[in-house]
Homo-oligomer: A and B are copies of this chain.
């Protein structure tokens, strides 16, 4: 296994099975980009705090920037023997500039780094998903517009209810994804990405040094110095809130999928699904299955399960940081990446959906679909009460059905 960031007080070597069980590099390498940002700010803060000389600062920064460059070019390779991404980057810096690297982690804690990294990840991914939701909205609007004068059957209880406009039906989904956008947007607005919490008790480096360093490194005002270090290292609210928002979004995707699956059955046959997103059967040659929609619907299990996972982890967690919290990353990445893929594909998919107007128009002839209008007419023209009109029309339909 690779070098560790601790160990002086330990007499015995770490158990190998335990080392494998506890390491997080296999997933937290995805945070490399943000972890470098933390290191850049930290190194400059150490310089302003007179802990690093100009030279030391420069050597450290240039090593870090080389790694940053590799990450940006998509060429970063993590060492699976490292304990975590923080250690991995530390070791890479050491490989570049030798013993000076041992000053990188001065007065810093991984507890501070990880929450900085994860919040940055959520922030960037949240913005991406907002964009993807806008794309999906555009696709839905495209489809709604294409059939903007088309009436379809509206359902309650999966039973025919009243005629509705297809565009308004599609508009309902636009509303849902619009709410998702706003919800994520509000979430992003409330995120505060802090640096300088130390392990739990704040940093011996003064706030001013961090303030200057943040200005030097990052153009945005995304980052700021820790105000309550205990809260900072203990907090995982942002992950739960993000996964909650994604659960609602996923629920919307599952409802859209369910409707399209039903509408594309041979029996409804109101829509044609784009073949490029269907698969066949290895046994039954005639099959064209709505696999994409089924997989989207089924992904609800994963997204809900991930939310339940992080909620369970954080239940009754004593302050401040506990190692349980390392397990927040897999559910976070899993939900974000799944939703990313779904949104990307469904935006293409929706544009290619086609209505089968012949079938729809045949269904629209169902007399039941006008029952409300008939009752309304009785109310307005004959002045009888709606309850009575409802009864009259109800009995008429009973007789029609024999």
| Residue count of chain A within 8 Å CB distance of chain B | 170
- Near B by CB (< 8 A), chain A positions 282-304 give 282-292, 294-295, 297-302, 304
| A316-334 interface code vs B (CB 8 A; 1 in, 0 out) | 1111111111110011000
Chain B residues, Cβ within 8 Å of A371? 284-286
| A62-94 interface code vs B (CB 8 A; 1 in, 0 out) | 000000000000000000000000100000000
Known: A279-B6, A308-B305, A330-B302. A259 touches B319 (CB 8 A): yes
Contact call B231/A176, Cβ cutoff below 8 A: yes
Contact call B315/A157, Cβ cutoff below 8 A: no
- Near B by CB (< 8 A), chain A positions 245-294 give 245, 247-248, 251, 254-255, 257-259, 261-262, 264-268, 274-292, 294
Q: How far is the CA of A204 from the CA of B37 in the complex (A)?
A: 59
- Near B by CB (< 8 A), chain A positions 354-402 give 363, 366-368, 371-376, 379-380, 385-398, 401
Nearest chain B CB to A401's CB is how many angstroms away?
Answer: 8
Chain B residues, Cβ within 8 Å of A281? 6, 109, 156, 161, 199
Given contacts A154-B230, A204-B376, A284-B368, 14 further A-B contacts (CB under 8 A): A9-B280, A18-B345, A21-B342, A111-B283, A157-B290, A158-B322, A161-B199, A237-B248, A254-B315, A258-B317, A285-B391, A301-B310, A301-B312, A301-B324
Q: How many copies does the complex hold?
A: 4
Chain B residues, Cβ within 8 Å of A15? 276-277, 345, 348
Q: Which of B8, B261, B380 contacts A391 (CB 8 A)?
A: B8
Q: Binding site of A, secondary structure by majority: helix, strand, loop or mixed? A: helix
Q: How far is the CA of A284 from the CA of B248 in the complex (A)?
A: 30
Q: Which of A26-34, A97-105, A128-136, A210-218 lies at the interface?
A: A97-105
Known: A8-B390, A9-B280, A9-B395. A159 touches B285 (CB 8 A): no
The 4 closest A-B pairs by CB, nearest first: A8-B394, A298-B324, A305-B309, A6-B280
